[in-house]
Amino acid sequence: MDTEWTAVPWSGDCELLWIGLADEDGRELCGINSDARVDPANERYVAALLDLATPDLPRLRRTELMSAVRSFCEGVDEFWAWIPTLESFAAWSKLGSSAPAAYERCRQIDFQMLHALVRPWPDDWPNEVRDLNAASLAAGASLPPRAKNHLHPRVHAQWNRSLFSNIMAAGHGRDA
């Protein structure tokens, strides 16, 4: 899974802008939350993300997006997402000494956004996300090349799926 937000995740204005999901069978789902509110202070941040959005990316009301995600994830037994290291998060966020606390709050932001979207949360769905970054390091799996439009939800979800395949091929994925 991958998500992008209406503001940086440690701000009080952060909500789901879009989501990208890809599974082992090659299925994909992605869409923009057309109900997302963007604070004018964050318009430049969001505009840069939306520049990556292709015309075929569905714009769905929050309830429609939730329904699509529920249907796509029916029977899911695990969620995987790329979780940056504290060091890479600190470099990206430029938060200085407050980076560790923000990292702890935002470490699983993709899962937090998914959990906030899907209400009520299905009892049979996992309550955590597996870390592609940690699993790839543990497995010694190679990272797929990143596309220029890597933040596009479909492209990032496809990249996550490719990395997941590399981890499984290395034989360490589900144990990481």
Q: What are 8's two structure tokens?
A: 């940086």
- Residue 9, preceding bond cis, omega within 30 degrees? no
Compute the C-alpha angle 19/20/23, nearest 5°.
140
Write out pLDDT tens, residues 79-137: 999 999 999 999 999 999 999 999 999 999 999 999 999 999 999 999 999 999 999 99
Number of neighbours of residue 87 by Cβ within 10 angstroms: 10
Range of the domain at 64: 2-175
| Confidence (pLDDT) at 46 | 85
User: φ, ψ for residue 47 (rounded to 5)?
Assistant: -60, -40
At 154, which CATH number? 3.30.420.10
**Number of structural domains in the chain:** 1
The stretch 5-9 carries a mean pLDDT of: 91
